[in-house]
C-alpha cells in the first residue's frame, strides 16, 4: 500500500512513517521545508514538497495513494477533503490522541511544557489533591494504531489511542519532582502558566472498543516510566 502522510517529520508523524515502512508499505511524506524534506528522505520515505495551503499538491498526492494519514497541524484542506469524499468509496476513520503522547520523540508536547513550568516554579505542582486524571499513550503505540487504522479500520470509526485510561496528575508531579530533586505541592491553577485552563481537568478515556476492533495492545513504557528514564530532563 502507498500511504501519503502529512506532518511526516513531526513527533508523531516520524513514528508513523517508520511504522508504515517497517510493515512493508510505501510512504510519501509531505514536507514544507528543506529540513523536513531531509528528515523524511532520511527515514526512507518519498518526499512530496508542499504545505496545507497547496490544495493542488495535496489532492494530487492523495489521489495517487492507497491511503492518507493526516497529522499536520491545521484542518484538512478542502482539496484533500474532496479527494477523500466517502461518497467515492473511501474508508475514513479518526484517531483521537490523549493529551500525553510521550517518548524520546516528544520535544514540544505537554510534558516538556509542564517540566519547563515546574523548573521555573521550583516546585512540582498539582491542583487540589491531584487526583484528576490525564490519559496517555507512548508515541510508538500510537503509531502502530495509525498503521492498523489505515489498513483495517471500519469506515467512520472513532479510535482512541489510549494506553493508560487516566494517570492521576499528582503521580506526574511526583515523577517530575523525583528527577528534579524538588518538593511537590498543591498549587492554584494560575501557577501553571498556559496550562492553567487544563491542569485541573479530569479526563479519563477508555480504549476498550479500539483494542477489540483492531486487536491493538499497547506494549511500550508508561508515562511515569518514561519520566523516570530521564531523557525529558536532559534537554
Q: What is the mean pLDDT of each run of 10 residues along the chain (235 residues)?
A: 96 98 97 95 95 86 94 57 57 96 96 97 98 98 98 96 98 98 98 97 97 98 97 89
Task: Out of 45, 67, 90, pick the residue that ends a domain.
Answer: 90
- Are residues 77 and 17 part of one domain? yes
One domain for residues 63 and 109: no
Q: Which domain holds residue 48?
A: 2-90
Same structural domain, 117 and 228: yes
Residue 96 contacts residue 86 (beta carbons within 8 Å) = no
> Does residue 74 sit in the same domain as residue 182?
no
State pTM to two decimals.
0.92
**Residue-level pLDDT at 54:** 82
pLDDT at residue number 177: 98
Quote the pLDDT of residue 52: 85
The residue out of 31, 61, 90 marking a domain boundary is: 90
d(CA 12, CA 6): 10
pLDDT of amino acid 134: 98
Is residue 107 within 8 A of residue 11, CB to CB? The reply is yes
Number of domains in the chain: 2
**Non-local CB neighbours of 159 within 8 Å, separated by 6+ positions:** 93, 94, 95, 96, 145, 149, 153, 210, 213, 214
Cell representation of residue 206: 477508555
Distance CA 38, CA 14 (A): 12
Question: Within this chain, do residues 122 and 226 fall inside the same structural domain, yes or no?
Answer: yes
pLDDT value, residue 79? 42
Q: Residue 82: its pLDDT value, please?
A: 43
| pLDDT, position 51 | 86
Amino acid at each position: 500500500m502507498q500511504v501519503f502522510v502529512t506532518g511526516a517529520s513531526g513527533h508523531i508523524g516520524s513514528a508513523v512513517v517508520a511504522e508504515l515502512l517497517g510493515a512493508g508499505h510505501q510512504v510519501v511524506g509531505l514536507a514544507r521545508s528543506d529540513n523536513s524534506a531531509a528528515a523524511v528522505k532520511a527515514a526512507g520515505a518519498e518526499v512530496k514538497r508542499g504545505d496545507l495551503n497547496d490544495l493542488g499538491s495535496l489532492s494530487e498526492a492523495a489521489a495517487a495513494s492507497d491511503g492518507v494519514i493526516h497529522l499536520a497541524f491545521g484542518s484538512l484542506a478542502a482539496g484533500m477533503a474532496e479527494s477523500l469524499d466517502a461518497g467515492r468509496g473511501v474508508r475514513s476513520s479518526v484517531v483521537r490522541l490523549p493529551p500525553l503522547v510521550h517518548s524520546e520523540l516528544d520535544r514540544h508536547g505537554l510534558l516538556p511544557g509542564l517540566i519547563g513550568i515546574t523548573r521555573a516554579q521550583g516546585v512540582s505542582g498539582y491542583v487540589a489533591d491531584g487526583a484528576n486524571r490525564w490519559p496517555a499513550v507512548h508515541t510508538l503505540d500510537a503509531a502502530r494504531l495509525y498503521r492498523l487504522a489505515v489498513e483495517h479500520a471500519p469506515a467512520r470509526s472513532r479510535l482512541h489511542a489510549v494506553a493508560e485510561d487516566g494517570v492521576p496528575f499528582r503521580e506526574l508531579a511526583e515523577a517530575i519532582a523525583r528527577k528534579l530533586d524538588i518538593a511537590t505541592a498543591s498549587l492554584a491553577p494560575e501557577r501553571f502558566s498556559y496550562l492553567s485552563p487544563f491542569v485541573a481537568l479530569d479526563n479519563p478515556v477508555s480504549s476498550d472498543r479500539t483494542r477489540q476492533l483492531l486487536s491493538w495492545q499497547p506494549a511500550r513504557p508508561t508515562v511515569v516510566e518514561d519520566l523516570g528514564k530521564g531523557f525529558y530532563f536532559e534537554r
